[in-house]
Amino acid sequence: MREPNLYVILSHALIGSGFFFLYMHHVRVIFETRTNMRHLSQLERESMLRREDALYYTFYKKLADGPDFWHGYEQLKNVTDIEYPHSVNVLQRFNVLPEIVTAYFFHVVRAGFNPGVQPMQFYFEFVWLMGGITLLVLYLYGTLLSENVFGGIYGVLSYLMFHSFAAKIYERPLARENFAFPFIFLQMFYLCICIGRVLHRQKHSSRIVMVLVMSLFTACALVSWQFSSFIFATQILIVMTTWNFSSMPSSQANAFALDYSLSHLLGNCLAFIVSRGNSQLLFTWQMSGSLGLFLITVVRKVRKQRAANDHQQQQSDYLSLKIILLALLFACSMQAKLMYLLNKSGILDWPDNLEMHYSDLWAHWMLQAKVNFVTNLSACNPLYARIAWSELWQLVKTLIVKPYCMYGVVMLAMFFRKWRKSNVPTSASQEQRERARNYVLEDFLEEHHVSMSDMSNKQTEQQLQKCFAMLESCDHDYERYKREKSQMQEEQQPERDDFIQDIKRLKAQIHRNFDKQRKEREQASELNQKDTLETEQKSADDDAATTTKAEQASEAEPEPETMPSKATSKDTSNGKRRPARRDSYVPTANAQILNFHYLYSFIQMIVFTLIGLTVRKLFFLSFTQGCVIAPTICSKVWYHRQRNIFWSVSLAVILLSMFDPGMMNIREEYFPTRYTSSSDDLEGMLEWIKLNTERDAVFAGPVEIIGTVHLTTKRPIVNHAHLEMRQMAERTEHVYSVYSRQQSSDIYNQCAQLKIQYLIISLDECTNEVRDDCDILSMWDDKQPAFRKYPQFCHELLNKNVPSFLKVYSNENYGIIKMFSQSVQINLKHNKMPEMSM
Q: State mean pLDDT over 539-566.
A: 46
- pLDDT tens string 703-760: 989 999 999 999 999 998 888 888 888 899 889 988 888 888 888 888 888 889 999 9
| Mean pLDDT computed over every residue of the chain | 76
Q: Over pLDDT 70: what percentage of the chain? A: 71
Predicted confidence (pLDDT) per residue in 811-822, tens digit: 888 989 898 764
pTM over 0.75: no
Query: Residue 824: is its pLDDT beyond 60?
Result: no
Residues 6+ apart with CB under 8 A from 545: none
Q: Supply the pLDDT for residue 576.
A: 39
Give the model's pLDDT for residue 573: 39
| Stretch 248-252: mean pLDDT | 63
pLDDT digits (tens, 9 = 90+) for 658-675: 666 667 777 777 777 655
> What mean pLDDT do residues 163-189 have?
86
768-810: pLDDT as tens digits: 888 877 888 888 888 888 888 888 888 888 888 888 888 888 8
* Amino acid found at 508: A
pLDDT at 316: 47
Whether pLDDT at 136 is above 50 = yes
CA distance 395 to 11: 30
Q: How many residues does the chain have?
A: 838
Average pLDDT (89-98) is 88
Count CA within 13 A, CB hemisphere, residue 616.
Answer: 17
How far is it, in rounded angstroms, from Cα 191 to Cα 259? 11
The secondary element (H helix, E strand) that includes residue 539 is none
Determine what percent of the chain is predicted with pLDDT higher than 90: 11
For the stretch 478-507, pLDDT in tens is 787 888 887 777 666 666 666 677 777 777
**DSSP notation for 703-731:** TTTHHHHHHHH---BS--S-TTBHHHHHH
Residue 825: predicted pLDDT: 42
Apex 804 CA angle, 798 and 809, nearest 5: 40
Q: What is the pLDDT of residue 530?
A: 66
Q: pLDDT digits over 257-303, tens only?
A: 888 889 999 998 898 888 887 777 777 778 877 887 888 777 777 77
The string of DSSP letters for 745-760 reads HHHHHHHHHTT-SEEE
- pLDDT by residue (tens digit) across 522-531? 777 777 666 6
The dihedral region occupied by 809, where left means phi > 0, alpha psi between -120 and 50, and beta the remainder, is beta
Q: What is the CA radius of gyration of the chain?
A: 38
Examine the pLDDT at 127 and tell me if it is beyond 90. yes
DSSP percent split of the chain into helix, strand, coil, nearest 5 = 75, 5, 25
Residues 44-72, mean pLDDT to the nearest whole number: 89
Nearest to 687 by CA among 719, 709, 720, 717: 709
Which residues, including other chains, have CB under 8 Å from residue 390's CB and lie 6 or more apart?
A: none
pLDDT for residue 457: 76
- Neighbouring residues of 731: CB distance < 8 A, sequence distance ≥ 6: 83, 718, 719, 754
> How confident is residue 369, by pLDDT bands cut at 50, 70 and 90?
low
Within 245-382, where are the H helices?
A: 250-274, 285-306, 310-345, 354-367, 373-379
The rounded distance, in Å, linking the Cα atoms of 233 and 622 is: 16
Does the N-terminal peptide bond of residue 494 adopt cis geometry, omega within 30 degrees of 0?
no
pLDDT value for 619 = 83
pLDDT in tens, 425-437: 555 677 777 888 8
- Highest-confidence segment of 57-61, 576-580, 614-618, 740-744: 57-61
Q: Is residue 259 packed enough to be buried (19+ CB in 10 Å), middle (13-18) or exposed (0-12)?
A: middle
Tell whether the model's pLDDT for residue 183 goes beyond 90. yes
Exposure string for 348-373, b = 16+ CB within 10 A, e = fewer:
beebbbbbebbebbbebbeeeeebbb
pLDDT grade, residue 566 (50/70/90)? Answer: very low
Of residues 523 and 576, more confidence is placed in: 523
State the fold for domain 682-831. Answer: Rossmann fold (3.40.50)
Confidence class of residue 562 from pLDDT cuts 50, 70 and 90? very low
